[in-house]
């Protein structure tokens, strides 16, 4: 799932103050820079904004060729003033060279960010903008360009975060269709002196009325619809500004004339406020085909068997109304590959018997190469029997098959309800209204075939200017519709990341892995927010059909997925070629931060993490994402940012602060924090994580260690349930004399306000 797509928690107004900061006077200390990464606490130096503003290049150990321009300033709900500065070298902008300065009560608390440590570079471009744009289009094989964006001259890192290589380059945003039909949205970096392509960065990461909805995955839920269409209710929540469309058969905005990716999506309506399961055309099968069709399959020249549902018949598909997208069956090359079935159509007939099924030869090169799309030769058959069951069809030309009508729940209801819950999660927990914090409209598109892959087996968040979500319906083997609650929260969070006020997180290298991880984390938090005890730590488990134990990813055990992920930085399965692969590192960090745990990581480091709960952990994650990370952030930047986020929120002496460090240590980043947490009986579950009993078996004495602040009452009980000893456990080490007890099996029962916990004790 390629995706790219979040903002600052604001309590004050955004302010933009265009000031240029160049080196002005000598300073008596420097801020350390490691591989371009900057993170330093300055509270003890008692500096104000003006000092930083006047001396930023010198503080960073940069020459007088470097300068900084203030980008933005805001004051958050914790009282911190956060200022972003853009780096320039010889007057040329440095891509992702951003320094963040954080101030509270007039004193600079922290400086962080990423910069380019450049001593010299040729800043004279020999390639013009037009040539750079042409090179970018050619590199992506673009035959149809959508939105036009101006090329931007800047200094870009053509290497990676650990081995940077800075070049003068043009940054060219390309939205368009390739000759193979794929829609791409990318930033292409073109060397401004040679015209060479340096790198490509993907931008696709992937009056109200209450109603009752029978959702596919989450049972009966209350949703909000509107009644603006006479006699009908549609999936539109005006208060939250959420609208859910059916994108079946809608073409995309190839000309880039607006902000709607799909040009003619359909409203999803019902004639009353109870949205029950209804009959739908779910699948079509071709059992035999004529020689006319079979002999025209030519995979080498892009001629594939395809199925689709239409509203009328015509070989020229420019003239017909699609009811479903073409389903290209790449696996069919001859009659030996039949039967072939298209599943998960989810087409709800209106009762007018106007649906037409079709199987035929679809020419990809003609459809996407600028020619007239066609389906020829083809078989057409009427979907006329809308009774439940399987119905045979025969077009009289040697083509036969069947179609199935079944009563199903509409996955669009999951998308609509899930986005309402996602909106409420961000509003209630972070005071963030919509993905950008500005109350923007959220558009859900059902059955919009994921544009970069010709597949229903995906979901995606589209970047600016579209800012919308697309959900595939799955292929039925093994995927069902991609409208699981955590998947929707994941995609929405990509848009939160893109509008985080600092340029988002680039969808490559370590920043790409972090981008994916933040979406996984927030998607899971939304699932717990909505489903409580029924939630879990797997990603996309609902999207497998039929229900299995499969999932896309596991946060609690990243290595356990079908495609294993690393759970340790640069450990087993480490691979930065796809942003999804290494998201498991921060995912496991978050799981341990919430739940706690002990173990040994891939670096043979033993760890012990005390969980702080999901509510406190998600606040740390959100503040890190919206306050401390620049677009090219690394895992070390996320480590530093999360520590400072915990400090801002809960204080440097808090358990949260220490647990953040230890959770990172558990996944191979930073050092262990040996500070013992202060735990109250009412704040923790009394269990083996906080109470250790040894040796076991024991003879004359047994030791119980506790890290709970208050005393805990306990009893030793024999196997017939009779209490034989009372114990009062204090924090620290408790030596218990058990010489008076006979050999045998006992139980130590701890009491936590009526919530008991029992450990087995064997006396020999």
- List, by residue number, the catalytic residues: 491, 580
Secondary structure (3-state) at 39? strand
Nearest CA to 633 out of 102, 160, 206 is that of: 160
User: For residue 498, is it left (φ>0), alpha (ψ between -120 and 50) or beta?
Assistant: alpha
Q: Measured in whole angstroms, how far is the alpha carbon of residue 269 from the centre of its chain?
A: 29
End-to-end Cα spacing for the chain: 58
Q: Which helix (H) or strand (E) segment is 56 a member of?
A: helix 49-59
And the tokens for 194? 């040679």
Residue recorded with tokens 């984390």: 521
Residue 126: CB atoms within 10 Å = 12
β-bridge partners, 538:
554
Is residue 695 within 8 A of residue 701, CB to CB? The reply is: no
And the tokens for 328? 């290209």
What is the rounded distance in angstroms from the CA atom of residue 442 to the CA atom of residue 431?
17
What is the rounded distance in angstroms from the CA atom of residue 75 to the CA atom of residue 468?
28
Is residue 41 within 8 A of residue 110, CB to CB? The reply is: yes
β-bridge partners, 694:
703
What is the rounded distance in angstroms from the CA atom of residue 746 to the CA atom of residue 701?
14
What is the rounded distance in angstroms from the CA atom of residue 53 to the CA atom of residue 111?
12
User: For residue 389, is it left (φ>0), alpha (ψ between -120 and 50) or beta?
Assistant: left
DSSP of 489-528: HHHHHHHHHHTSSS----SSHHHHHHHHHHHHHHHHHHHH
E-strand spans in 90-141?
Answer: 92-104, 107-114
What is the rounded distance in angstroms from the CA atom of residue 631 to the CA atom of residue 153?
18
Nearest CA to 268 out of 283, 248, 251 is that of: 248
What is the rounded distance in angstroms from the CA atom of residue 281 to the CA atom of residue 393?
14
Nearest CA to 323 out of 265, 249, 264, 382 is that of: 249
Contact partners, residue 14, CB within 8 Å, separation at least 6: 72, 73, 74
Contact partners, residue 742, CB within 8 Å, separation at least 6: 763
What is the rounded distance in angstroms from the CA atom of residue 91 to the CA atom of residue 93?
7
DSSP of 188-223: EEEETTT--EEEEEE--B--EEEEEEE-SSS-EEEE
């Amino acid at each position: 799932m390629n995706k790219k797509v979040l903002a600052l928690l604001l309590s004050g107004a955004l302010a933009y103050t265009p000031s240029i900061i160049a080196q002005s006077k000598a300073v008596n200390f420097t801020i350390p820079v490691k591989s371009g990464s900057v993170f330093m606490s300055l509270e003890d130096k008692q500096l104000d904004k003006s000092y930083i503003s006047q001396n930023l290049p010198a503080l960073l150990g940069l020459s007088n060729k470097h300068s900084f321009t203030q980008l933005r300033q805001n004051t958050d709900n914790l009282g911190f003033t956060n200022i972003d500065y853009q780096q320039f070298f010889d007057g040329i902008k440095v891509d992702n060279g951003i320094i963040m300065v954080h101030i509270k009560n007039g004193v600079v608390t922290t400086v962080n960010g990423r910069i380019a440590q450049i001593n010299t570079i040729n800043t004279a471009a020999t390639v013009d903008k037009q040539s750079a744009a042409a090179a970018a289009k050619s590199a992506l094989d673009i035959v149809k360009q959508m939105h036009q964006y101006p090329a931007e001259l800047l200094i870009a890192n053509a290497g990676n975060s650990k081995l940077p290589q800075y070049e003068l380059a043009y940054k060219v945003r390309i939205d368009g269709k390739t000759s193979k039909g794929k829609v791409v949205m990318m930033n292409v970096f073109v060397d401004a002196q040679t015209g060479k392509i340096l790198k490509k960065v993907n931008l696709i990461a992937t009056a109200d009325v209450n109603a009752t909805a029978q959702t596919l995955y989450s049972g009966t839920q209350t949703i909000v619809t509107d009644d603006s269409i006479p006699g009908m209710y549609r999936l539109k929540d005006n208060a939250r500004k959420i609208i859910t469309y059916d994108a079946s058969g809608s073409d995309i905005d190839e000309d880039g004339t607006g902000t709607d990716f799909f040009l003619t999506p359909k409203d999803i309506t019902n004639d009353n406020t109870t949205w029950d399961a209804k009959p739908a055309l779910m699948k079509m099968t071709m059992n035999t085909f004529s020689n006319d069709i079979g002999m025209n399959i030519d995979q080498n020249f892009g001629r594939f068997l395809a199925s689709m549902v239409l509203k009328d018949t015509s070989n020229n598909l420019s003239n017909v109304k699609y009811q479903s997208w073409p389903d290209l069956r790449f696996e069919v090359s001859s009659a030996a590959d039949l039967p072939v079935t298209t599943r998960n159509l989810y087409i709800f007939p209106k009762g007018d018997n106007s649906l037409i099924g079709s199987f035929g030869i679809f020419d990809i090169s003609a459809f996407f190469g600028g020619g007239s799309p066609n389906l020829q030769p083809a078989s057409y058959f009427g979907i006329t029997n809308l009774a439940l069951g399987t119905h045979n069809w025969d077009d009289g030309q040697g083509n036969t098959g069947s179609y199935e009508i079944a009563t199903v729940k509409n996955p669009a209801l999951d998308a609509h309800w899930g986005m309402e819950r996602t909106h409420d999660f961000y509003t209630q927990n972070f005071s963030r209204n919509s993905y950008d914090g500005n109350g923007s409209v959220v558009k859900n598109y059902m059955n919009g075939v994921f544009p970069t892959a010709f597949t229903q087996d995906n979901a995606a968040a589209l970047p600016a200017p579209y800012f919308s979500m697309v959900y595939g319906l799955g292929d039925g083997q093994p995927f069902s519709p991609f409208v699981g609650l955590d998947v929707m929260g994941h995609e929405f969070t990509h848009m939160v990341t893109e509008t985080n006020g600092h340029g988002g997180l680039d969808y490559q290298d370590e920043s790409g892995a972090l981008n994916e991880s933040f979406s996984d984390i927030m998607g899971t938090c939304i699932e717990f927010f909505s489903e409580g005890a029924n939630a879990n730590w797997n990603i996309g488990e609902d999207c497998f059909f039929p229900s299995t134990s499969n999932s896309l990813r596991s946060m609690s055990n990243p290595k356990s997925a079908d495609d294993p992920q690393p759970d340790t930085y640069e450990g087993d399965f480490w691979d930065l070629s796809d942003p999804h692969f290494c998201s498991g590192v921060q995912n496991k960090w978050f799981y341990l931060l919430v739940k706690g745990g002990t173990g040994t990581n891939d670096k043979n480091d033993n760890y012990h993490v005390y969980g702080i709960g999901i509510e406190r952990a998600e606040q740390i994650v959100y503040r890190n994402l919206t306050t401390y990370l620049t677009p090219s952030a690394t895992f070390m930047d996320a480590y530093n940012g999360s520590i400072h986020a915990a400090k801002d929120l809960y204080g440097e002496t808090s358990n949260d602060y220490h647990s953040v460090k230890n959770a990172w240590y558990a996944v191979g980043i930073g050092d262990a924090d040996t500070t013992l947490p202060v735990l109250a009986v009412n704040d923790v579950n009394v269990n083996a994580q906080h109470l250790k009993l040894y040796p076991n078996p024991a003879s004359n004495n047994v030791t119980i260690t506790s890290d709970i602040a208050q005393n805990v009452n306990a009893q030793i009980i024999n196997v017939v349930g009779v209490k034989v000893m009372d114990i009062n456990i204090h924090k620290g080490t408790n030596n218990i004399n058990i010489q008076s007890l006979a050999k045998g099996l006992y139980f130590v029962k701890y009491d936590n306000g009526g919530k008991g916990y029992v450990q087995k004790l064997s006396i020999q």
